């Protein structure tokens, strides 16, 4: 009778736990759906976070661990668990509140790297616990071992690659533009895949020292994989690494037969993969080309055959030109984020709208340092989503646009992408701002963009340069328009 009672109690708790995982999975899907639109993105993030919090809480309360004598006990080490949750929550909250918009890509890379590290550590911890009955029956050729090895490989690559991406975005690490590194990377990847197959073909568990060596090799590959990539390719790399972390987390879901972990990993992995493909299409390049043929740095092509006469415009002339226009496009870039001028940019567009000017924002998919960087930046300033126009649609309106203001963007408005076959960015779709009637480029200097190539737009006959910090310049420009 006592055994039956224990069985019923365990079954009830198990059912509650499984139901909580199902609800959490649904909340992940709902959250992801809401993230597809800026108006609902905030609530979508909260719904998904609530689902994860519920899954964690119900696991602590209802998960049972089978003991050697056959009975089930709840999770132990609660002090360590809650201590980790509290410390992690406080650190994450403070970091997210204090991070500047310019450093948001670095934070995304850092958080993503932590996810990859967790997945890799899970695999390291679970390898010694590959079920002995599976090993006795099938050797190491079983799904459990495969999930462990793939989780360790992908998680380690994601962690190491994300840390290198963090360093590059933060300006601490440079690029290695060496062709030989491509061959080293291909050799390392082939070796890692061979070792996965080799472990799977073993009749018994290998020594842990071999698995640690495999993890170290995967970390080395993660570093060497990202080192050659730089310039305008970084948003694609961040998206790709995000998808890696999702796949690694899904491997953990297989290991623990955890529906919430599996669903979350699949959603992150698939969403990251789709985004990576979309970003590659936006750059008119294949993923392989991004990985082994990165933009930037080595080409002197650009404005060498162009008349390098630079024309400037005064604040008063710019204010008059904008005030008496019918349609104005604003093309933001990373410089806008650096200057923290997104709120002033929105103030300018509202001021022009009050004068009867139609104002829209041309958004290039790879503007900034991470996918959707400009969308997030402008959403923070409460710019209506309806005013954000994708690059392809914006290009159709350029001939009928009176003025385009380029604020901090560089590579995504470079005519060399269409006019100079020798340019590293040739073939990349850009916003054809030079087709508008007038162009005003706001920049602090004539410096090159993140792809490290010169911009022919600066010398275009329709372009006028308005030099200065974007925030200070916008403040002065708004004052001039108000005084008209």
Distance CA 341, CA 377 (A): 9
For 64, phi then psi, to 5°, come to -115, 140
Instruction: Check residue 298 and give its pLDDT.
Output: 43
Instruction: Check residue 447 and give its pLDDT.
Output: 66
- Locate 95 and state its tokens: 């970091």
Each domain of the chain, given as residue ranges in start order, spans 1-98, 103-294, 315-483
pLDDT at 7 exceeding the cut of 60? no
pLDDT at 106 exceeding the cut of 70? yes
For 112, phi then psi, to 5°, come to -65, -40
Q: The tokens 């073939």 sit on which residue?
A: 427
- Locate 372 and state its tokens: 């959707």
pLDDT top residue among 291 and 383: 383
Task: Provide DSSP, 27-59.
Answer: HHHHHHHHTTSHHHHHHHHHHHHHHHHHHHHHH
Q: The tokens 């974007």 sit on which residue?
A: 470
The dihedral sign for the CA sequence 417, 419, 421, 427: positive
Instruction: Check residue 49 and give its pLDDT.
Output: 92
Distance CA 331, CA 347 (A): 15
The dihedral sign for the CA sequence 149, 151, 154, 160: negative
403-428: average pLDDT: 83
Instruction: Check residue 280 and give its pLDDT.
Output: 79
In this structure, the chain runs to a length of 484
- Torsional class of 413: left (φ above 0), alpha (ψ -120 to 50), beta (otherwise): alpha
Instruction: Check residue 147 and give its pLDDT.
Output: 92
pLDDT at 174 exceeding the cut of 50? yes
pLDDT at 206 exceeding the cut of 60? yes
Judged by average pLDDT, the poorest of 12-21, 342-351, 459-468 is: 12-21
Judged by average pLDDT, the poorest of 90-94, 140-144, 420-424, 458-462 is: 420-424
CATH superfamily of 315-483: TPP-binding domain (3.40.50.1220)
Instruction: Check residue 24 and give its pLDDT.
Output: 92
Task: Provide DSSP, 212-242.
Answer: HHHHHHHHHHHHHHHTT--GGGHHHHHHHHH
Query: Which H or E element spans position 66?
Result: strand 64-66
Judged by average pLDDT, the poorest of 64-68, 154-158, 162-166, 434-438 is: 64-68
**By C-alpha distance, which of 93, 84, 148 is closest to 119?**
148
- Per residue in 50-103, pLDDT (tens digit) is 999 999 999 888 887 766 666 777 787 888 999 999 999 999 899 888 887 677
Burial 122-137 (b: 16+ CB within 10 A, else e): bbbebbeebeeeebee
pLDDT top residue among 319 and 69: 319
Q: The tokens 């009050």 sit on which residue?
A: 354
- Torsional class of 258: left (φ above 0), alpha (ψ -120 to 50), beta (otherwise): beta
Distance CA 322, CA 362 (A): 16
Instruction: Check residue 307 and give its pLDDT.
Output: 61
Instruction: Check residue 360 and give its pLDDT.
Output: 93
Global pTM?
A: 0.78
Instruction: Check residue 78 and give its pLDDT.
Output: 85
152-177: average pLDDT: 87
CA distances to 26, 393, 415, 484 from 429, rounded to whole Å, are: 37, 12, 10, 38
pLDDT at 187 exceeding the cut of 80? yes
Q: In this structure, how many other beta carbons lie within 10 angstroms of the beta carbon of residue 245?
A: 29
Instruction: Check residue 17 and give its pLDDT.
Output: 84
pLDDT band at 8 (very low <50, low <70, confident <90, very high): very low
Query: Which H or E element spans position 20?
Result: helix 2-34
Per the CB < 8 A criterion, the answer to whether 349 and 322 are in contact is: no
For Cα atoms 154, 155, 156, give the angle at the middle one, nearest 5 degrees.
95
Distance CA 272, CA 113 (A): 14
Show which residues are catalytic. Answer: 411
pLDDT at 303 exceeding the cut of 60? no
Distance CA 150, CA 251 (A): 7
For Cα atoms 70, 75, 77, give the angle at the middle one, nearest 5 degrees.
125
Distance CA 317, CA 323 (A): 10
pLDDT at 300 exceeding the cut of 50? no
348-357: average pLDDT: 90
* Chain mean pLDDT for the chain: 84
Instruction: Check residue 3 and give its pLDDT.
Output: 52
Instruction: Check residue 408 and give its pLDDT.
Output: 83
């Amino acid at each position: 009778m006592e055994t039956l009672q224990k069985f019923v109690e365990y079954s009830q708790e198990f059912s509650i736990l499984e139901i909580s995982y199902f609800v959490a999975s649904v909340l992940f899907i709902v959250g992801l759906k809401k993230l597809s639109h800026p108006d609902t993105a905030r609530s979508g993030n909260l719904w998904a976070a609530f689902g994860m919090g519920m899954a964690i809480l119900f696991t602590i309360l209802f998960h049972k661990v089978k003991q050697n004598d056959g009975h089930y006990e709840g999770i132990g080490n609660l002090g360590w668990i809650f201590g980790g949750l509290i410390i992690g929550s406080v650190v994450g909250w403070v970091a997210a509140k204090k991070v500047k918009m310019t450093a948001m890509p670095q934070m995304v890379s850092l958080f993503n790297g932590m996810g990859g590290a967790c997945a890799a550590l899970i695999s390291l911890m679970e390898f010694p616990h590959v079920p002995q009955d599976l090993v006795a029956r099938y050797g190491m050729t079983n799904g459990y071992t495969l999930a462990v090895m793939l989780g360790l490989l992908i998680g380690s690559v994601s962690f190491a690659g994300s840390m290198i991406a963090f360093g590059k975005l933060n300006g601490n690490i440079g690029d290695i533009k060496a062709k030989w590194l491509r061959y080293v990377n291909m050799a390392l990847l082939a070796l890692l895949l061979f070792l996965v197959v080799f472990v799977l073909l073993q009749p018994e568990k290998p020594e842990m020292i071999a698995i640690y060596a495999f993890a170290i090799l995967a970390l080395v590959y993660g570093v060497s994989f990202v080192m050659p990539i730089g310039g305008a390719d970084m948003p694609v790399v961040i998206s790709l690494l995000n998808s890696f972390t999702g796949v690694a987390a899904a491997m953990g879901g297989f290991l623990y037969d955890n529906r919430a972990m599996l669903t979350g990993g699949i959603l992150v992995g698939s969403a990251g993969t789709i985004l990576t493909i979309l970003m590659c299409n936006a750059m008119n390049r294949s993923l392989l080309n991004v990985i082994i043929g990165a933009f930037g740095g080595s080409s002197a092509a650009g404005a060498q055959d162009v008349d390098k006469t630079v024309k400037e415009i005064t604040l008063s002339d710019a204010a008059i030109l904008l005030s008496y226009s019918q349609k104005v496009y604003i093309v933001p870039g990373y410089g806008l984020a650096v200057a923290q001028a997104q709120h002033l940019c929105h103030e300018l567009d509202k001021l022009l709208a009050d004068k009867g000017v139609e104002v829209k924002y041309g958004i290039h998919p790879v503007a900034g340092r991470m996918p959707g960087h400009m969308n997030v930046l402008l959403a923070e300033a409460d710019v209506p989503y309806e005013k954000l126009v994708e690059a392809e649609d914006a290009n159709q309106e350029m001939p009928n646009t009176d003025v385009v203001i380029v604020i901090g963007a560089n590579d995504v408005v470079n005519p060399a992408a269409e006019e100079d076959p020798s340019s590293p960015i040739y073939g990349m779709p850009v916003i054809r701002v030079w087709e508008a009637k007038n162009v005003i480029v706001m920049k602090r200097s004539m410096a090159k963009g993140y792809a490290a190539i010169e911009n022919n737009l600066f010398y275009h006959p329709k372009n006028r340069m308005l030099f200065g910090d974007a925030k200070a310049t916008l403040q002065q420009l708004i004052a001039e328009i108000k005084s008209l």
